[in-house]
Amino acid sequence: MTIQEVFEKSYGKHVTEKEVTETFNKSKSTYGTAFQQVLARAGLTEDTYREQIRTNKLVEYAVKKAAEKELTDANYKKAYESYTPEVTAQIIKVDNQDKAKEVLAKAKAEGADFGQIAKENSTDKKTKDKGGEVKFDSASTDVPDAVKKAAFALEANGISDVITVKSSTYSSSYYIVKLNSKSEKSANWKDYKKQLKNVILTQKQNNRTFIQRIVAKELQAANIKVKDQAFQNLFSQYVKSDSKSTSSSSSSSK
C-alpha cells in the first residue's frame, strides 16, 4: 500500500481533482517559465507533482478533522484571550519601498484623502477600487499578519508607517494601513465562537507537532515506511524515511 492509498482509503472522497488542478495551476502560474526547472530540482514531473498535491490535501483534511476534536470550551477561552474583534480600515499596497515612502508622505499630509491615494497608488486588486477599505479581525486571513498587527496598535484615524511583508516566494510588498474604527471587545467569549473556531483550527493546522502526531498515527496504523523519493520531502517532517531503501515506490513493511 502506498502512502497516498493510506489517506485515500479514509479521506479520498473529500478531496476533488478540481482542487488538485487549481493548486497545480496556481503554482504553475506563480513560477511561470521556471516551473519545469523548479519541478526538476525537486525531482518531480508534472504527474508526480499532482500526486504530491493530492496527498498533501488528503493530509490537510485528516489534520483538519483531528483539529475539530480540539474545539473544547478550554481552547475557546484560551483563543479568546488573544483575539481582537473586527476593525474597519483602509490599506495601500505597493511593490516598491521607495514608492511606499512617497505614498506614506502623501497619506500623512494634512487634509490628505487616504481613499483617493489608495485608488491612485495601491496594487491590491481586492481593495484598490474601494479606496483600500477592508474589514478584518485577528482571525482573518485576507490581510497579512504584520498589517493586522500594525492596524490593531493604531487609534482611530491613525496611519501606520510602511509595513514590509515577504511572500512565500521571497518577494516583498509594502503596506500602509489607516485604522478607521475598532469595536470594544465583549467580555463573553461565546459572542465570538464562530471566529474563535477558525482561530483554533488554523493554529492546530499550522502546528508542526500536531500535524506530526496525526500523520504518524495514520502511517503507523498502516505499518508504512516512506520509500518513494517523490514523497520523502513531503513526509520527512512527519516520519523517518527508510534511507537505506532504493525502492522507487512506497510500500508497507512486511
What pLDDT score was predicted for residue 35? 95
Helices in the chain by DSSP H: which ranges? 3-11, 17-31, 35-41, 46-68, 73-81, 97-108, 114-121, 145-152, 193-205, 208-221, 229-235
pLDDT in tens, 200-209: 999 998 898 9
- How many Cβ atoms are within 10 Å of 100's Cβ, its own excluded? 23
Residue 143 grid cell: 490581510
pTM of the model: 0.69
pLDDT in tens, 240-251: 444 433 333 333
Give the rounded distance of the alpha carbon of 194 from its chain centre. Answer: 19
The C-alpha R_g of the chain, in whole angstroms, comes to 22
What pLDDT score was predicted for residue 226? 57
pLDDT in tens, 143-169: 999 999 999 999 999 999 999 999 877
Position 75 pLDDT exceeds 60: yes
What pLDDT score was predicted for residue 78? 96
Domain boundaries, given as residue ranges, for the chain: 3-73+194-252, 84-184
Grid cell 495514520 in the structure block, residue: 218
What pLDDT score was predicted for residue 216? 83
144 vs 89: CA distance, rounded Å: 13
Give the rounded distance of the alpha carbon of 164 from its chain centre. Answer: 17
38 vs 50: CA distance, rounded Å: 14
- How many Cβ atoms are within 10 Å of 237's Cβ, its own excluded? 10
Residue 6 grid cell: 493510506
210 vs 58: CA distance, rounded Å: 16
- Give the CB-side neighbour count of residue 165, counting CA atoms within 13 A: 21
Mean pLDDT score, 187-204: 95
Give the pLDDT band of residue 6 (cuts 50, 70, 90).
Answer: confident
Give the pLDDT band of residue 74 (cuts 50, 70, 90).
Answer: very high
Q: Pick from 203, 191, 160, 157: which is nearest to 86 by CA?
A: 191
Grid cell 487616504 in the structure block, residue: 114
pLDDT in tens, 118-151: 999 999 999 999 999 999 999 998 999 999 999 9
Mean pLDDT score, 12-17: 95
Position 31 pLDDT exceeds 80: yes
Angle at 85 between CA 103 and CA 178, to 5 degrees: 10
Give the pLDDT band of residue 254 (cuts 50, 70, 90).
Answer: very low
Residues in the chain: 254
Q: Which residues, in sequence order, are CB contacts of 212 under 8 Å at separation 6+? A: 237, 238
What pLDDT score was predicted for residue 227? 55
Mean pLDDT score, 7-22: 94
Residue pair 20/252 in contact by the 8 Å Cβ criterion: no
184 vs 94: CA distance, rounded Å: 31
Residue 101 main-chain phi, psi, to 5 deg: -65, -40
**CATH top-level class of 84-184:** alpha beta
